[in-house]
Amino acid sequence: MSMLDDFMVRAVLAGIGVVVAAAPLGCFVVWRRMAYFGDATAHAAILGVALALTFNVSVLGGVMAVALIMALTVSTLNGRGVAMDTMLGVMAHASLAFGLVAVSFVDGVRVDLMSYLFGDILAVDRMDILGIWLGAALVISLLVWRWQGLLTSTLNPDLATSAGLSPRREQLILSVALAMVVAVAIKVVGALLIAAILLIPAAAARPFAQSPERMAVIAVAIGVLSVIAGIEAAFIFDTPTGPTIVCAAAVVFALGQITRVIRAN
């Protein structure tokens, strides 16, 4: 019997694939204070699910398309005199609401709605794992390729401009990477928890990192630990797996904050 026949092994592989992509990207979300941005893109994913089911196309493709449109719209509006937190709040909740209403018109998917909202990692198959890891490889390749440019434009946009970099272009690259992560993560943690899996490992890594690169590596390690611990805890306590993974990450974050306070004193 193949190792991948075990649903727990498939779940762990899928979860690790998501956090390997989400954790380094989450560092940029933390550095740029883009938490609302990640939330809006993730919430738009439900609209992508509804459109994909309506037109009978790939859910992954539908989510990717809508997440990308949302990310590019936000990037375009950024710095144009629009109150971004208000705009992101409106777009996030409106797209989620429209998505939920649209899904209700599609026959036979009402029961599956919870899995799109909160994930259904135990139901992933081999093709899901392949899609997740391909998406993760693309995101990592994009971040490695543009790491220095992204970092410079994040820490000092004026320095980036004088060095011949375009901060707006780097923002668009981040937006594309974010849309990819949302598309691959929806099956694992669901639309409502994607922002958490982006933010929490990166935020938890911050107190222990002396450099941006180290923070990204530690965030990945925390993400992997959270996936394994979350899946194990969900199996033992019979709790929803996606939310339990996020709870595990939150516990690591809390322990990190306690450690930092103790060190400071």
pLDDT of 4 over the 90 cut: no
Coil, helix or strand at residue 189 = coil
Residue 109: the pLDDT is 57
The larger pLDDT score, comparing residue 119 to residue 85, is at 119
Please write down the long-range contacts of 233-236, taking CB distance under 8 Å and 24 or more positions apart.
235/8
pLDDT of 16 over the 50 cut: yes
Residue 55: the pLDDT is 85
Residue 80: the pLDDT is 65
Task: State the average pLDDT over residues 212-231.
Answer: 96
Residue 110: the pLDDT is 57
Q: Out of 6-20, 69-83, 115-129, pick the least confident.
A: 69-83
Spatial separation of the C-alpha atoms in residues 45 and 61, rounded to whole Å: 10
149's CB contacts (< 8 A; 6+ apart) are 160, 165, 170
Percent of the chain with pLDDT over 90: 49
The larger pLDDT score, comparing residue 233 to residue 155, is at 233
3-state secondary structure 120-138: CHHHCCHHHHHHHHHHHHH
Closest CA to 230 of 222, 185, 216, 204: 222
Residue 98: the pLDDT is 92
Instruction: Write the single-letter amino acid at 94.
Output: A
Q: How many CB atoms lie within 10 A of CB 81?
A: 5
CATH class assigned to 3-192: mainly alpha
Residue 108: the pLDDT is 64
Cβ-in-10-Å burial (0-12, 13-18, 19+) of 140 comes to middle
The conformation of residue 3, written as its DSSP 8-state character, comes to G
pLDDT of 68 over the 90 cut: no
The conformation of residue 106, written as its DSSP 8-state character, comes to S
Q: What is the pLDDT of residues 90-128, one digit of tens each?
A: 888 898 899 888 888 877 655 577 888 889 999 998 999
DSSP string covering 33-90: T-HHHHHHHHHHHHHHHHHHHHTT--HHHHHHHHHHHHHHHHHHHTTTT--HHHHHHH
Spatial separation of the C-alpha atoms in residues 165 and 158, rounded to whole Å: 9
Q: Quick check: pTM over 0.85?
A: yes
Task: State the average pLDDT over residues 69-97.
Answer: 79
Contact between 256 and 242 (Cβ < 8 Å): no
Q: How many CB atoms lie within 10 A of CB 155?
A: 12
13's CB contacts (< 8 A; 6+ apart) are 4, 129, 133
pLDDT of 1 over the 50 cut: no
Residue 24: the pLDDT is 96
Confidence of residue 77 (pLDDT cuts 50, 70, 90): confident
Residue 219: the pLDDT is 97
The CA-CA-CA angle for residues 147, 149, 155, to 5°, reads: 95
